[in-house]
Chain A
Amino acid sequence: MLKYLSQMRPEKQRELVLLLLICLVVVFFAMMIPHYLNARLFNRVSTSVAIMAVLAIGQTLVVLTRNIDLSVGSIVGFTAYFVGQQLSHNNDIDPLVAVLMAIGVGALMGGFNGVLVAYCRVPAIIVTLGTMALFRTLLVEYSDAQTVLTVNLPQWLLDLPRLNVMSHGRLHLRFVVVIMLSVVILFQLFLRFSSFGRKLYAIGSNPEAANNAGFPTQRIVLISFLLCGALAGLTGFLFLARFGNITVVAGIGFELKSVAAVVVGGVNIFGGSGSIFGATLGAVLIDLLENSLIRWLQISEFWRDALLGLLILASVATDSIFMKRIRLYWAKRHAASTNSNS
């Protein structure tokens, strides 16, 4: 098993470990909770993770370049409100235009972060701590304490969350889940096979070296923030579709949730390593834990967060210890083979 694992790229190994963890969690809760393993579980987790996974992918792009974006929660809130407001005023806006509007507004906000980080050379954590407050202020001022109301939204948007692409018995593959999956696959391929993707990793693992090698570091960092903002905008749209009534508190706390998904997903917080697929699995694992804990009758309302914190820590630690073992094994084998060669 270890031998087989060691022949894969480290990211692949990490994803496998995460998949294993997810299976373990499912098996554990299936033993604990009656009627746990059924089609509903898939429907619940897949639809609720769709929102966080898209956001986590954006966060991953930024974290890979050794930066962080704490303003994503405010971007989600603002775009959800802004697009909701436009759609309430004008029900005839084309669905595609609405989505593009959300992505565009998000990209604009992300671009603002990106310019400050890449060209004004302000550390990302400072910029995004600032814009987290700033974008939220914009939202509160813009909203004038009015709520986006479900009743004013066009029918297609209200139908979107229950739109199935495929159904097998009670197992539904929802449209929003398909959106999420397409984003995952698109960005996974993009990072793996484009030169932009390779540069992203290079900058994260060693910014100076990347600079010396003549990479357009600034432009790439800007683009990563821009894409993160765009994905946060898309998340805002999904948020609007799922919850309908939008107030100024929309998306509060999403920044730390997205960071949690990214780090559980094995993306190195200091940049340079990790994958889109991993971050998605991280989001799935956290969502699965949350959704299962609230269904576990033996666990009172008040124990849930304490357990969630410890389980997140445990899963990151398991992952890290596992990876260390694999690396050690690989190093030994490598040493042995070079010895025998010489």
Chain B
Amino acid sequence: MYKKIISLIAVSALFFGATVMAHTIAKKGMKADLVLMPKFLGILVFDQANNGAQEAHRELGNPGKLEFLGPTPENSVAGQIEILTTATTQGQDGIMISNNAGDQIAPAAKAARAKGMTVVTWDSPIPSGDGEQLFIAQVDFNETGMVMADMALSILGPGGGEFAVLSATPDAANQNAWNASMKEHLKDPKYSKIKLVDLVYGDDQSEKSYNQALALVDKYPNLKLIMAPTTVGIAAAAKAMQDEGLCDQVKVSGLGLPAEMVSYTLNGCAPEFALWSFVDLGYLSYYATYMIATGQIEGVAGETFKAGRMGYYTIEKDPTRDKGLRVKMGPFSVYTKDNVEAASK
């Protein structure tokens, strides 16, 4: 194996110069006990990610175990730290974390690293990058902001208008990064006609998001659009607009699951929204973690590896954080009435 890599390096060095490293193709059948940890249990998108990881697990013929362990929603932060610490004690070889604890998980992650465990994050990173080897980014976080701004522009049309953001909790690192990047993008003269009037939180609870959406309409009589970069928020906002007969006046957009949004897209309440494939995200995370845990790649910037059916990915410095490495999955799937039905099946 190593010989192969070395010869590959030699060959590629000849062709592309010394900066390009090997394209590593995963060696199957090596043993690594891995854990996939969602933000909490019982949520569809995380189960989809688990399906993707299980698919990769079978494909790679890993004789070790892949466990899907998560906390309860009421106890997500402390629960994630507890599971990570216990996994370290158990001597697991690697863990994939959809981090809900922000930087608070960093000490536990550092302890896990000190014991030689592979720590990879997916969906939501450790903001400071401490304790994490690699972040599998579903999309570029700057791009998320741009996609949000673009969808707003496309829904509001050339005439523009007012819109507001309905976010999840004030503590969600990925949401905050997206909102910040969207605000950055809005400074572009291209978006001069659309105006962000407010940013509110629905705490990822249906009832709170629903009430917040209606309150936005009451607060801003000229509001034309609610942008909710959360699957719970967007569905609740769309239902609220539909129930109050406001769909003609206020549109809803953001990040949503096609299965949850299909009826609102078809009736015009939420004409356009975006998301990525969580199955693929789980699949890619598994490949990266497996290869780092079994020593096939080191997890340093510049390395390129092949993630089965998804093709080649390169580890790079994360441009959206001060520190930390990432693998960018992408792209966004933007859903409209033309493709949402097929995607919801």
Contact = CB atoms under 8 A, between A and B. Distances in A.
B344 interface: yes
Contact of B42 (A145, A151, A290): A145
B43 A247 contact: yes
A248 B236 CA distance: 15
Contacts of A245: 206, 232, 235-236, 239, 260
Interface string B238-256: 0100111100000000000
B200 A243 contact: no
Given A244-B239, A249-B73, A147 B260 contact: yes
B296 to A, nearest CB: 31
B211 interface: yes
Interface residues of B, number: 40
A147 B219 CA distance: 31
A28 interface: no
Contact of B244 (A35, A139, A162, A243): A162
Interface in A227-278: 239, 242-245, 247-250, 252-253
Interface string B204-215: 111100111011
A182 interface: no
Contacts, number: 100
A48 interface: yes
B210 A242 contact: yes
Interface string A122-157: 000000000000001001100101110111000000
Interface string B32-55: 000000000111101100000000
Contacts of B42: 139-140, 143, 145, 247-249
Given A243-B210, A252-B73, A294-B215, A147 B239 contact: no
Nearest to A294: B215
Contacts of B257: 147
A51 to B, nearest CB: 7
Chain B: interface secondary structure? helix
Interface stretch (A112-120, A196-204, A295-303, A330-338): A295-303
A145 B260 contact: no
Looking at A151, A248, A291, A297, the one whose CB has the most chain B CB atoms below 10 A away is A151
Interface in B244-300: 244-245, 257, 259-260, 262-264
Interface size range of chain A in the complex: 35 or more
Contacts of B235: 150, 244-245
B201 interface: yes
Given A139-B42, A161-B243, A243-B236, 12 more contacts: A140-B42, A145-B44, A147-B43, A147-B44, A150-B260, A150-B263, A151-B259, A242-B207, A248-B42, A249-B42, A294-B200, A294-B211
30 contacts: A44-B215, A48-B207, A139-B42, A143-B42, A145-B44, A145-B47, A147-B43, A147-B44, A147-B257, A150-B235, A151-B260, A162-B244, A243-B207, A243-B210, A245-B260, A247-B43, A247-B44, A247-B232, A248-B41, A248-B42, A249-B205, A250-B206, A252-B74, A294-B212, A295-B215, A301-B170, A301-B199, A301-B200, A301-B201, A302-B170
Top-5 shortest CB links A-B: A248-B42, A145-B47, A243-B206, A294-B215, A161-B243
Interface of A: 35, 40, 43-44, 48, 51, 136, 139-140, 143, 145-147, 149-151, 161-162, 239, 242-245, 247-250, 252-253, 290-291, 294-295, 297, 301-302
